[in-house]
Structure 1
């Protein structure tokens, strides 16, 4: 019994030595599995199918500025065309004639007896006009197509009228002269049907005008020949 003691001690020492050797071997090979990748090892590739981080968006390019379009040119406004107009008042008692030239207008109102008025003014681009004459006379009208419609105000009386575009010899005529010491001022409106309405003022006294020859534009006054001219602004 006394000899087995040292034998047990020796066996225990051997077992302890074997245990330590196996423990060192185990820790040497397992360090790589706990400490990460071994030095010098290639980096592991990402798993297949793993989403890659989205690239940072590049600054958007500013769209090239388009050249500004030129505004469409507006048609220039033009005054009504040059023309003459003649017609009667709605009550058929008087006549009105107008001559339009380059945005200006001159008009003549006449009843063929003792009431007359010369008026003038501007014509707007829309064809409207407001003409004025002596003693507060007024003509307000508007050109629409080939006709001028409006009103004439003289001595607190108002006449409505329609004047159509005139074709020569229709239109407006005037003669200003002196015959045998008397001052004459005559106005004639020649209408499309050949009829005439006019007044001849002799030294300030109005009376019905003698007939005007449309071809020669002449009239006889006390045996003398008076020549009339077409009226324009």
Structure 2
């Protein structure tokens, strides 16, 4: 019975040693797990910014400037002679449209109409097939008139007042149709047709438009693109 004492002591020492080993193993695992869980996440990389400097703002977008709107040529009146001095031409511009009158003062005439481009170009035509091609540049209109198979060059300076007149009436049973051009120097060129037969026109009073045809007083009025259409 005396031998059981040391044996029990030995067994008790073994049990204590096993308990200590088991406790150390458990404590080490928990410490490792806790250390791994509690570590803060690494800081994210950020661009290097110098202290005191703020990022440059993006340049402001500017809207394109609106292009200027082209305007039609100003209203005006023009009159002049053909280059060969055989006839006269008057051109009246109103609101981007034009009416012109070609007249030789004897038996050849034509009324022409059409639009005026913003750059001053114009192509005017008549019912009898005549055609005027001209350009407004500065204070005059220049170009050509094709009429009766012939071409006439011309230059018509601005007159500053009405240069083109017309009168229509029935006189002594005849249909009278008269056209007049008043040139810048005051000279007049015109034709009066009686039932379609042309002849030189008597002069009008530019101030009032008064004119006497076959003993009857008529009034010649300024011609515009609207009144001639």
Aligned-pair CA distance for 1:90: 0.5
Q: Distance in 2 between matches of 1:62 and 1:205?
A: 88
Where do 5+ consecutive residues of structure 2 fail to align?
A: 1-44
Match of 1:167 among 145, 152, 160: 160
- The answer to which of 90-99 and 211-220 deviates more is 211-220
1:130 aligns with 2:123: yes
TM-score with structure 2 setting the length: 0.73
- Aligned partner of 1:117 in structure 2 is 110
Find the aligned partners of 2:174 and 2:55 in 1 and give their Cα distance: 87
Gapped regions of structure 1 (runs ≥ 5): 1-55
**Is the counterpart of residue 151 in structure 1 residue 148 in structure 2?**
no
CA 1:62–1:211: 2 relative to 1, 3 Å: same
Q: What is residue 89 of structure 2 aligned with on the other side?
A: 96
Report the structure number with the largest CA radius of gyration.
1
Match of 1:198 among 190, 195, 210: 190
* 8 Å CA contact 2:135, 2:143 repeated in 1: yes
Residues 59 and 113 of structure 1, relative CA distance in 2, 3 Å threshold: farther
Question: Which deviations, in whole Å up to 9, do the C-alpha atoms of 1:96-121 show, x marking residues without a partner?
Answer: 00000010000000000000000000
Q: Structure 1, residues 193-215: CA drift from partner, whole Å, max 9, x if none?
A: 11000000110101101111112
Per the alignment, do residues 58 and 180 of structure 1 end up closer, same or farther by CA in structure 2, a change over 3 Å counting?
same
CA contact (8 A) 2:180 2:189 kept: yes
Q: Is the 8 A contact 2:145 2:152 kept in 1?
A: yes
- Please provide the CA RMSD for this pair: 1.7
Residues 76 and 160 in structure 2, CA contact (< 8 A), matched pair in contact too: no
Aligned with 2:128: secondary structure?
helix
Moved over 3 A (4+): 59-67
8 Å contact 2:114–2:122 — kept in the other structure? Answer: yes
**Does residue 177 of the first structure (1) align with residue 169 of the second (2)?**
yes
Aligned length in residues: 177
